[in-house]
Structure 1
Amino acid sequence: MQQFSSLSPVLMAPLGSFFLILASLAAVLLWGVSLWNGTVAELFAAVLRGHFEDGTPLRTRYTGIFLVDFPVSLLVAFFFYGTNGSDPGYQLFLIDAYSTLQPAFVWLYVESARMESKPFLIANPVVWGLLWQAFGGAISLPLYFYHHLEWKRSRKSLPSPGEHAQLRAVPLSFIIGAVLPAVVGMLPMWMERSASTHQWVLAAWQPDPVWVSLVQHAAVAVLRCWGRLRSSSSSAPRTGVRRNALLGGSAAMAYLTAALSSAIGHVYVVARVLASNDCLVAFGRIHKQYIEINEGESFYLFFLEHAYLELFTTPCAEQTIDLLLGNGKEKVSIRRLSVGDPGPLGPCWTPSRDGELDTFAMATSYDVAIIGAGWYGLVAARTWLRLRPDANLIILDSDSTVGGVWSRDRLYPNLVAQVKLGLFNYTDTPMPPDGATANGLVTGPMIHGYLQRYAEEHDLLRRIRFNTFVERAEPCAHGGWRLSLRDAPGEAVETEKLMVATGVTSIPNLPDCDRGAATVPIIHSRDIGVSYDALNAAAVRRVTVVGAAKSAYDAVYLLVSMGKEVDWIIRPDGAGPLAILPAELFGVFNSIAVASTRLMTCLSPSVFNTTGPVYRFFQRTSVGRWVTGKFWDVVTSLSDSHAGYSQGDHVSRLRPEVDGKSVFWANSGLGVVTLPDFWRRLHSGKINVIRDNLDRIEEDQIVLKSGKKVAADFAVMCTGWGDHFAMFDDATKLQVGLPLFGPAKSRPPADAEWDKLDREAGRAVDAKLPFIASPPGLKNAHTNQVQPNRRWRLYRRVVPLSHAVRGDRSLAILGQIHTVQTPLVAEVQSFWAILYLLGELELPDEDTMAREIAEWNAWTRKRYLSQGQKFPYSLYDFLPASIARSPRGF
C-alpha cells in the first residue's frame, strides 16, 4: 500500500469508490445468493433450534455471552459439514479457499510492521481477520484497501528494532495461530472425534486472527528482549544497510512461509480432485450420495448435459423449476416436479409406498418389457416406474434370482469382484460393507445380496418373471414387439417398448468341437457355482480348463485351492492370456480406484476427451505422449513383476502377448488380482499350461489339434460368451445394428456408405489421438478382425440408427459397454434410454448419428485392439462429467 501515499487526491477518490464497489459486489454475490438459496435461513434456523436438519445436535453455548456465542454458532454450523469428512467436495473447497486467503494474514502483518502509524479499525490485522472470518475475504479485503487510501503515511529511513522484531515473528505466528488451527479444524479425518467435540474445535478455530496476534505479540516481546541483549554485548553496531537487508530477509521469509502454505493447500486439493474416483469430489458433480424423497415434499432435478443429474429435496411444495437436459439438439424441458403432481412425463417420480399394488396381473400385453434382471435391468425398471408409476411393466429373466452374472446360482467360494467397496453400487444406494475382503473388495454374495435388496426395496420382485428365456423378439405390424418364450411355447408377450438388458455374460459359448463321444462332465464357467460340489468331489483329481479369460484364471485358482491338478489349454491363434493388474499399485493405491480417476482419463486416449489444455499436453505433444507411454510402461512392469512371469515356471506361459504396454492395450481383456495369494497359488499349484487348439473330446480324453491327448475327470470351458441377442434373427440384427454371431455364413455385401464413414472416422481418430494411431502388431490380428458388416451400429450404444431415422422409438439396447463402472453407467445409460423411448429427447440428424457411431467404432478398435474389434470396449474412459457434456455420451 506504500504506493498509494503518492497518489493525488483527484485519483484517490475514484479509486476508493472502486474498492467500495468491489466490496459491495462481493457482498451481493456471497450473501445475496446465500440469502436467496436459503443457506442463511437454514443456518439461523439450525442455531435457533439447536440442531441441524438431519437431527445432528448443534452446540450454541460456548462462553455464555450471547453476542459471542450466536455468531460463533453460525460459523460452526456453516463449517461443520465441510470439515467433518461427510462432504469431501465442500471440504476441498474450504481448503482451497483458505489456501488462497490465509496468506493475507502475512501480508497484513508485514504491512503493519512497515507503517510508522499503526493501522486501526478494519486495517488492524485482528479486526480485519475477524471480519474476514465472519463475512468473507472478498468483502473485507477491498474495504481494507479503501481504508488505506485515507491514510497519510510516512516512513523513516531505517526501520526501528521493534518493526524488525515484528517481521521476524510473522512466520511463527502465522504457522501457530493460523495454519495449525485450520489444519486441526478442517481435516478431522486424521483423528476420531464426536460431533460435539468437533463443534468445540470449530468454535475455538473461528477467532484465529486473535490467536495469530497473541502469538505475534509474545514472539515480538521475546525477540525484542533478545535484540537488546545482543545489542548490549555487541561492540560493532549494525549499519543501516545491513539492518535493511535483515529487514528484507525477514519480510521475504514471511512471504515464503505464506507461499508454501498456499501452494501445499492448492496442490493437495488439485491432487485429490485429479486422483479421486468419488463423483462428489470431481470437477463436475453428478449426484448426491444419499437422497430420500418423502411424501409431501417436492424436489428439484438439475439435469446436467446428457442425462447426468443431481437431486435436491425442499419442503416448498409450490416451488417449480424448469429442467434442461441435453446439448445442442438433445433437449427436454420438464416442469412442476412436485411428488405426485402431473407433468409432461406424467405423475413424476412418485415414491413407492408399502401396501400398494399387492397383486400384479401377468398380462400378455405390456407398456414396457425389460429382458434381464441384472445391473441394467433393475435400475431401468426402477427409473421407468419413477417416471411412469402406473406403467404396466414386466422384467423377463432366464435365471431364478436377480443379479445376472451375480445371480445366486452363479456364486461360488472366493468369487470376488475386481472392484473396491464404494465403486460398485448405484449412486443413491450405498452398498453395506459387511462381507468385504480385507483389502476392501466386494464379494459375489455381497453383490447378489445388494441387488436382491434393491429389487425388494423398490418393489420390483413382483414384476419379474424368473426362469423365462426369451426365444424370439419380432417387431409387430402395429408397432412394438412380440416376445416368444421358450418355457411357454403357447404364450407370447407383446410390449409397446422393449429394453434389452441381457448384458454380455448371459449365454455361454462352448468351443466348436466334437463332444458326442465324451463321458467326462463338461461345464461352462457360468455353471461353476451350481457344479461346485461335483468339482470338489474326491473322485475328481484332474481338471481341464479351456480358455484365457479372467474366468479361466479364477477357475484355475479355485481348482488349485481344492488340490486338483489342472491342464490349462489356451489356443495359440487367439488374443492370448490377458493382462492382470495387482490389486494395489505400489502396495498403496487400489488399481480399479486409480482406473476410475479423472487423471486416468488424461492418460488414456479417448474420444470422450479431445479438448482442453490437459488433453493437448498428453495427447498432442511429443513430451506428453512420452509421459503417457512411460506411465503405462511402469504400470505394466508392476503388473508383470507382481505376476512373476520371469520366474521361468508354467506362469511364464501366461505373459500377455502385447509386450511393454499390455495393461494399456488390454488386447485380450484386463483383470485384477482379487485374492492376496492369487499368484502364489498359481505358481505353486500343479498346473500344466498348454498352447494348443481343442479338436474333440472322446470319453475322458481331451484331444488337441496337435494330436496330444489329455486325461480329465472334469472339463471347464472358460471360452467366453455366446449370442446374447439370439432372440433377434439375422435380418433384424442387421436392421437394428447388432453384430451377427458365429462363423461367417452368407453375409450381405458391405455398405459402401458405412465403409466411407469408417475410413473417415479412422483418420479423424488418428488425428485427435496420435498415441493410438500406430498400435503394436498382433500375432493373430487376422483372427480377431471383425467384418465391417458385423460392427455395432447403435447411436450412443443404445439407439438403433434405422429406428431413430424413421421415428420408431420402441427399442433400446442396454449394457453392452465393457467398463469398470458398471452400476453408474447402468444408471445413466438407462435414464437416457428411457427419455429417448418416451420421446423426450430430440435426436440429431442421421448424418451426425452415423458419424458418432463410426468414430466410436474406430476409436475402440484402435484403442483396445482385439477386444475393441468385438465389443464396445471402454475400460479406462469413465469421465464423471465430461462425458455428460460431450456430444458422444454413453
Structure 2
Amino acid sequence: MHRTSPTQLLYLGAIGAYTLWGIAFFNGTLDRMNAAIEKGVMPDGRALRSTYTGYPLLDGRLTYLSAFYEVLSNSLTTGPRLLFLDLNFVLSSTLLWVFIESRRRGVRNISLRHPVPFAMLWNALGAAFIQPLYFYAITQSQATTRDPTIPLNEAIALFVTTIPTLLFPLFLFAPSYLDWSTYEHHGYIAKFLGTPFLMVVICVSTIALMWPKFGLVSPKDAKKPNEDKKWIVASYAMAGVIAAIVHIATIIACLQSLDGDINFTRLFVPTLSKVSSLSTASGIHNGTVHASILPVEYQKLVEGYHIFTQFDTIVVTFSCIVFVHWLLSNQGNTKTPGSKNMSGSEIKELASLVVGSVLIGPGAAGSFALAVRESRLREEKPTGKLQ
C-alpha cells in the first residue's frame, strides 16, 4: 500500500472546493441564500440581522455567514443540526492542532507561526476547502526537525486555552437550546466567527500572568529540554476526550432515535437529488414536528446546506486522516529514502486512524494519535539539511 502523501491534501482541497461551492451553486442553494439576504428575510419569515459592527462591508459578510450558520444550528431541524454540531467539535480540535504546531521553536514561516487568519478563512469559506491546504503547508515545514519543543510558558498557556477552544461551538448552538431570539443567535454566531482571535487572547493573557516567572519566552532548559511535552500531550488528550464524547453521542442518537431526521444515512450520506426533489412541505424531515410547518423553500435551503455540511465532514475527515498519518510516519528525517510503500506498522496506524475516525470521530482519533507523535518527536535527533 502506498504511503500517505502531502500531495493528497492538495487533491482534497480541490475536491472540497468543488463539493462545497460547486454543488451549492448547481443545486440552487447559493441563489436561495442570496435571495434571502437581498430581502432580509428567511424563507420561513424570520428577519435576518444585518448590523453587527457598523461597517457595511464587514456587516454584509457577517450577515451571509450568520444566516448560513443559523440555518444549520437553530432548533427548526434535528438531523442537520446534529451533524453540524459534530463537525464543529472536530474543527475545534483541528484548530488546537495547528495552534500547537505554530508554537514550536523550530517554526520559521510566518503563515505557520500565525494560523489564526487561516482558521478564520476555513470558518468563512469552508474547512474542506481551506484546511487541507493549510495542513499541506505544515507538512512542508522543517520546524520539528529544527526543534520540536515549545517554550514552557506557551505550553502551559496552550493547555489553559484548550478547554475554551473546544467549547467555542457553544456560541453556535447554545442560543437555540436556550430558546433565544434569532437576532441574539445571529449575534453569537458573529462572535463565534471571531473565536480564533479569542483563542489567541486567552493564550496571551495566560502567558502575561506567568510573566514574573518565565518572562516573554521561557528559555530552554538543557537539563529538561522536553518539560513542555506533558502539557502538550494533556492538551491533545483533552481535545480527544471532548471530541469523542460529541461524536459518540451523535452516533448513539442516530442508532436510537425514532426521528426520521436522525439516522446514519440521513446524517452522513449526501443525497444530491434531495434539493430538487422537494415539492411539498413533507419532502424532508420525516418524523420531525417541524416538517409540516416549514415552507418548501426553507426546507430546500436547509437541505442544500446539509449537503454542504456532509461533504465538509467527509473531506475534513479524510484530510485529518492523511495529515495525522503523514505526521506519524514522517518524524524528522526518519522517512525511508525511496520507499513508496508503507511498513506494517504504518498500515496498522492508518487502519487505527480510519476505524477511530468512524467510531470516535476524526477530531478524537487525530488528537490521540498526535499525543503519541509528541513523544516520538522528542526521541528524534535533528540531522540532515534544513530548509
- TM-score category, normalised to shorter length: 0.5 to 0.7
2:277 aligns with one of 287, 290, 300:
300
The answer on 1:311 being equivalent to 2:311 is no
1:139 aligns with one of 88, 106, 129:
129
Instruction: In structure 2, give the amino acid aligned to 1:195.
Output: T
2:174 aligns with one of 175, 187, 191:
187
Match of 1:102 in 2: 92
CA distance in 2, matches of 1:238, 1:17: 35
Match of 1:214 in 2: 201
**C-alpha offsets along residues 522-577 of structure 1, whole Å, 9 cap, x if unaligned?**
xxxxxxxxxxxxxxxxxxxxxxxxxxxxxxxxxxxxxxxxxxxxxxxxxxxxxxxx
Task: Spell out the pairing of 1:306-455 with structure 2 (5 A cutoff).
Answer: 311=283, 428=292
2:158 aligns with one of 170, 179, 185:
170
- Give every structure 1 segment of 4 or more consecutive aligned residues whose post-TM-superposition deviation is greater than 6 Å: 422-427
CA distance in 2, matches of 1:158, 1:125: 17
Does the C-alpha gap of structure 1 residues 46 and 189 become closer, same or farther in structure 2, counting only changes over 3 Å? Answer: closer
8 Å Cα contact 1:59-1:196 kept in structure 2? yes
Match of 2:247 in 1: 266
Task: Spell out the pairing of 1:685-700 with structure 2 (5 A cutoff).
Answer: none
Offset at residue 65 of structure 1 (A):
1.6
Identity, % of aligned positions = 25
Does the C-alpha gap of structure 1 residues 277 and 64 become closer, same or farther in structure 2, counting only changes over 3 Å? Answer: same
**C-alpha offsets along residues 261-310 of structure 1, whole Å, 9 cap, x if unaligned?**
21121022122222322111223459xxxxxxxxxxx97359xxxxxx96
Task: Spell out the pairing of 1:410-559 with structure 2 (5 A cutoff).
Answer: 428=292
8 Å Cα contact 1:105-1:174 kept in structure 2? no
Structure 2 residue matching 1:209: 3-state secondary structure: helix
Does the C-alpha gap of structure 1 residues 153 and 201 become closer, same or farther in structure 2, counting only changes over 3 Å? Answer: closer
Offset at residue 126 of structure 1 (A):
0.4
Offset at residue 37 of structure 1 (A):
1.3
The answer on 1:242 being equivalent to 2:224 is yes
Offset at residue 24 of structure 1 (A):
1.0
- Structure 1, unaligned stretches of length 5 or more? 1-13, 232-236, 287-297, 303-308, 313-421, 431-890
Does the C-alpha gap of structure 1 residues 426 and 241 become closer, same or farther in structure 2, counting only changes over 3 Å? Answer: closer
Offset at residue 204 of structure 1 (A):
1.1
Q: Which structure's residues are more often helix, by fraction?
A: 2
CA distance in 1, matches of 2:82, 2:68: 15
Offset at residue 152 of structure 1 (A):
5.2
Structure 1 residue matching 2:277: 3-state secondary structure: strand
CA distance in 2, matches of 1:187, 1:260: 20
Offset at residue 107 of structure 1 (A):
1.0
The answer on 1:278 being equivalent to 2:259 is yes
Does the C-alpha gap of structure 1 residues 109 and 241 become closer, same or farther in structure 2, counting only changes over 3 Å? Answer: farther
The answer on 1:68 being equivalent to 2:40 is no
8 Å Cα contact 2:166-2:239 kept in structure 1? no
8 Å Cα contact 2:66-2:189 kept in structure 1? yes
- Structure 2, unaligned stretches of length 5 or more? 268-274, 295-387
Instruction: In structure 1, give the amino acid aligned to 2:238.
Output: T
CA distance in 2, matches of 1:144, 1:87: 32
Structure 2 residue matching 1:255: 3-state secondary structure: helix
CA distance in 2, matches of 1:157, 1:275: 48
**C-alpha offsets along residues 646-690 of structure 1, whole Å, 9 cap, x if unaligned?**
xxxxxxxxxxxxxxxxxxxxxxxxxxxxxxxxxxxxxxxxxxxxx
Match of 1:27 in 2: 17
8 Å Cα contact 1:169-1:216 kept in structure 2? yes
CA distance in 2, matches of 1:19, 1:157: 24
2:104 aligns with one of 82, 106, 114:
114
Instruction: In structure 2, give the amino acid aligned to 1:252.
Output: V
CA distance in 2, matches of 1:279, 1:263: 24
Match of 1:203 in 2: 190
The answer on 1:79 being equivalent to 2:69 is yes
Does the C-alpha gap of structure 1 residues 59 and 75 become closer, same or farther in structure 2, counting only changes over 3 Å? Answer: same
Task: Spell out the pairing of 1:559-570 with structure 2 (5 A cutoff).
Answer: none
Match of 2:373 in 1: none
CA distance in 1, matches of 2:14, 2:167: 31
Q: Which structure's residues are more often strand, by fraction?
A: 1
Q: What is the number of equivalent residue pairs in this alignment?
A: 281
Give the alignment's TM-score, normalised by structure 2: 0.63
Offset at residue 66 of structure 1 (A):
2.7
CA distance in 2, matches of 1:310, 1:37: 19
Instruction: In structure 1, give the amino acid aligned to 2:24.
Output: S
Offset at residue 239 of structure 1 (A):
5.4
Structure 1 residue matching 2:43: 3-state secondary structure: coil
CA distance in 2, matches of 1:145, 1:34: 24
Instruction: In structure 2, give the amino acid aligned to 1:311.
Output: G
8 Å Cα contact 1:34-1:40 kept in structure 2? yes
**C-alpha offsets along residues 755-813 of structure 1, whole Å, 9 cap, x if unaligned?**
xxxxxxxxxxxxxxxxxxxxxxxxxxxxxxxxxxxxxxxxxxxxxxxxxxxxxxxxxxx
Does the C-alpha gap of structure 1 residues 283 and 21 become closer, same or farther in structure 2, counting only changes over 3 Å? Answer: closer
**C-alpha offsets along residues 42-68 of structure 1, whole Å, 9 cap, x if unaligned?**
222222221111221001121122332
8 Å Cα contact 1:84-1:186 kept in structure 2? yes
8 Å Cα contact 2:118-2:134 kept in structure 1? yes
Does the C-alpha gap of structure 1 residues 37 and 225 become closer, same or farther in structure 2, counting only changes over 3 Å? Answer: farther
Does the C-alpha gap of structure 1 residues 262 and 118 become closer, same or farther in structure 2, counting only changes over 3 Å? Answer: farther
Instruction: In structure 2, give the amino acid aligned to 1:253.
Output: A
Instruction: In structure 1, give the amino acid aligned to 2:162.
Output: F
CA distance in 1, matches of 2:291, 2:50: 34
Structure 1 residue matching 2:283: 3-state secondary structure: strand
**C-alpha offsets along residues 194-233 of structure 1, whole Å, 9 cap, x if unaligned?**
111111111111121111111111112223433359x9xx
**C-alpha offsets along residues 368-420 of structure 1, whole Å, 9 cap, x if unaligned?**
xxxxxxxxxxxxxxxxxxxxxxxxxxxxxxxxxxxxxxxxxxxxxxxxxxxxx
Does the C-alpha gap of structure 1 residues 71 and 64 become closer, same or farther in structure 2, counting only changes over 3 Å? Answer: same
8 Å Cα contact 1:273-1:281 kept in structure 2? yes
For CA contacts below 8 A with separation 6 or more, give which structure has more relative contact order. Answer: 2
8 Å Cα contact 2:93-2:239 kept in structure 1? yes
1:41 aligns with one of 25, 31, 34:
31
Match of 2:372 in 1: none
CA distance in 2, matches of 1:147, 1:262: 24
CA distance in 2, matches of 1:157, 1:97: 32
Offset at residue 159 of structure 1 (A):
4.2
Instruction: In structure 2, give the amino acid aligned to 1:210.
Output: F
8 Å Cα contact 1:167-1:254 kept in structure 2? no
**C-alpha offsets along residues 721-741 of structure 1, whole Å, 9 cap, x if unaligned?**
xxxxxxxxxxxxxxxxxxxxx
Give the alignment's TM-score, normalised by structure 1: 0.29
8 Å Cα contact 1:123-1:148 kept in structure 2? no
CA distance in 1, matches of 2:208, 2:290: 60
The answer on 1:125 being equivalent to 2:107 is no
**C-alpha offsets along residues 247-268 of structure 1, whole Å, 9 cap, x if unaligned?**
1101101101210121121022
CA distance in 2, matches of 1:426, 1:87: 7
CA distance in 1, matches of 2:263, 2:183: 30
Instruction: In structure 2, give the amino acid aligned to 1:175.
Output: I
- C-alpha root-mean-square deviation of aligned residues, in Å? 3.6
Match of 1:92 in 2: 82
